[in-house]
Amino acid sequence: MSRAFDKFARGIGIAFLLAAAPAQSIAAAKEAPSVETSANSLKPGQFVWQPERAKEGPVEIMISLGQQRAYVFRSGTLIGVSTISSGKPGHDSPVGLFPILQKKKDHRSNKYNNAPMPYMQRLNWYGVALHGGAIPGYPASHGCIRLPMKFAQHLFQATQIGSRVFIADEVPSSPKAALAMVRGARAPATASADAGTP
């Protein structure tokens, strides 16, 4: 009798788990923030990454220094929004349109005490790059655009040499406005020195 009861109890337990699983995943999906609406609600170090929204096509990035945010588009569709930390006063991040010139997963600063710059994507030859690092909630770098580490990794995998990055002081009114800013930027910024600013 006890063996039959054990089988019955196990069967009920498994059925309960299977029945509960879809409800949990639906609830989890409802809690996930929308990439479209998350830009203003992210706290320092937070990001939303939804590459499934556009699986192919060119990647374009808009960096808002005024908002301390990065917007990532693929084929014109927003796939990611992240908090950033740009250059502090006296080491301001440059504004303009930059192509990604070089990518290096494990890079170290040539200028600042060999500081780590993981998932480095060079924007000019003067030492400005996108890379993973601390995001305190305000501009704190030596000119680079710091990204949350996991976001930097995702972005590193999504971009190619030549992907467009537009850095602006303005705060876009919406993700569509951010995309329009990237696409409206014409002349690539000039370059020439050595990347090494964390």
CATH of domain 47-184: 2.40.440.10
pLDDT at 140: 95
Interval 136-141 mean pLDDT: 95
Residue 161, phi then psi, degrees to nearest 5: -55, 130
> Taking the mean position of all CA atoms in its chain, how far away is CA 96?
19
pLDDT at 24: 32
pLDDT at 17: 38
Share of the chain above pLDDT 90, in %: 63
**Helix H or strand E encompassing 62:** strand 59-64
For residue 180, what are the CA distances in angstroms to 69, 155, 194?
Answer: 16, 20, 30
Q: How many CA atoms lie within 13 A of 186 on its CB side?
A: 0
pTM: 0.78
pLDDT at 88: 94
pLDDT at 13: 46
Residue 87: is its pLDDT beyond 70? yes
| Residue closest to 35 by CA, chosen among 181, 174, 177, 185 | 174
Measured at the alpha carbon of residue 89, what is the angle toward residues 84 and 91, in degrees to the nearest 5?
80
Mean residue pLDDT of the chain comes to: 82
- Residue spans per domain, the chain: 1-31, 47-184
pLDDT, tens digit, 9 for 90 and up, residues 142-189: 999 999 999 999 999 999 999 999 999 999 999 999 999 999 886 554
| Residue closest to 82 by CA, chosen among 180, 189, 156 | 156
DSSP annotation string for 126-137 = TS-EEEE----S
